[in-house]
Amino acid sequence: MPSDVYIQGTDGLTVGRTATLVGVSVKTLHHWDAIGLVRPSGRTWAGYRLYSADDVGRIHRVLVYRELGFPLAEIGRILDDPDADARAHLRRQRSELVARISRLEKMVGAVDRMLEASRSGMRLTPEQQVEIFGDDWQPSWVEEAEERWGESAQWAQYAERAAKLTPEDWQEVAATTRALENDLATAKRAGVVPGSDEANALAERHRALLSGYFDCTHSMQACLGRMFVADEGYTSHYDALAPGLTVWLRDVIFANAEAHGVDPETATWE
């Protein structure tokens, strides 16, 4: 760096120019002066600080040590003690930095896993989804569900669990779902009454299926029962299995919720 950079008048740089040169604030330089860490070598006739080339060099060394995590008091001792072993300090700090990097890398890995889990969770291609869940399955339903519930704790729970499932696991889930839906449709056709033991057992099987995705309470299941009837997509799906199945399933869920002390009409998502 040209030596004339340090000339302000004939004695050095003002505190403002020094701060700009080294990339710190004037307030920082004032503080370092006050604690004796970096004291300017000169003053103007009006009493303003002037920093020499050696002063600026010391500031740069302070910045290096500060970046490495040394406390200011320790930096001052290292710079002022002729017997201080600067290399030993640096070796120790390097060891601490390596350990910190290792911890940060583990944290990054954990965040990456959380980000992956917070996505759809389902590790199936669209083709695999149709093959496993049937020709009427729409892969876009997963994205729609994420848009609808993606900010909820239950979606995060589902995504974390779903990310661990293999295609074979999903085949088993699909088979369990089809078996339950067939039994629901059969019970509806047979005139099974909501609130009966048989209907309550089907409601519990339905809740257990949902609990494979997230922890589903009776209150949550009642909320879903209301949604099934209000949502055209769900109504079309269930009523295609048996006419009126959607309303019947809601009534079955409601009766079972009441048996467990939940008012289905006022149930909340908890």
Q: Is the dihedral of CA 97, 99, 102, 104 positive or negative?
A: negative
Which domains does the chain possess?
3-84 (1.10.1660.10), 166-259 (1.10.490.50)
**Residue 58 amino acid letter:** R
DSSP symbol at 124: -
Ranges of the chain with pLDDT below 70:
1-11, 84, 86, 109-126, 128-150
How is 10-76 classified by DSSP, letter by letter? TT-EEHHHHHHHHT--HHHHHHHHHTTSS--SEE-TTS-EEE-HHHHHHHHHHHHHHHTT--HHHHH
Q: From residue 82, how far is each of 76, 77, 162 by CA, in Å?
A: 11, 9, 62
- Residue 75 has φ and ψ, to the nearest 5°, of -60, -45
Other Cβ atoms closer than 10 A to 184: 23
6-59 residue pLDDT tens: 434 446 899 999 999 999 999 999 999 999 999 999 988 888 899 999 899 899
Phi then psi for 14, rounded to 5 degrees?
-70, 165
pLDDT of 125 reads 63
CA distances from 136 to 3, 159, 168, 233 (A): 78, 23, 20, 12
Q: How far is CA 261 from the centre of its chain?
A: 35
Residues 6+ apart with CB under 8 A from 167: 124, 128, 132
pTM of the model: 0.52
Q: How far apart are CA 181 and CA 216, in angstroms?
A: 18
Ramachandran bin of 84, using left for φ above 0, alpha for ψ from -120 to 50, beta for the remaining angles: beta
Residue 99 pLDDT: 80
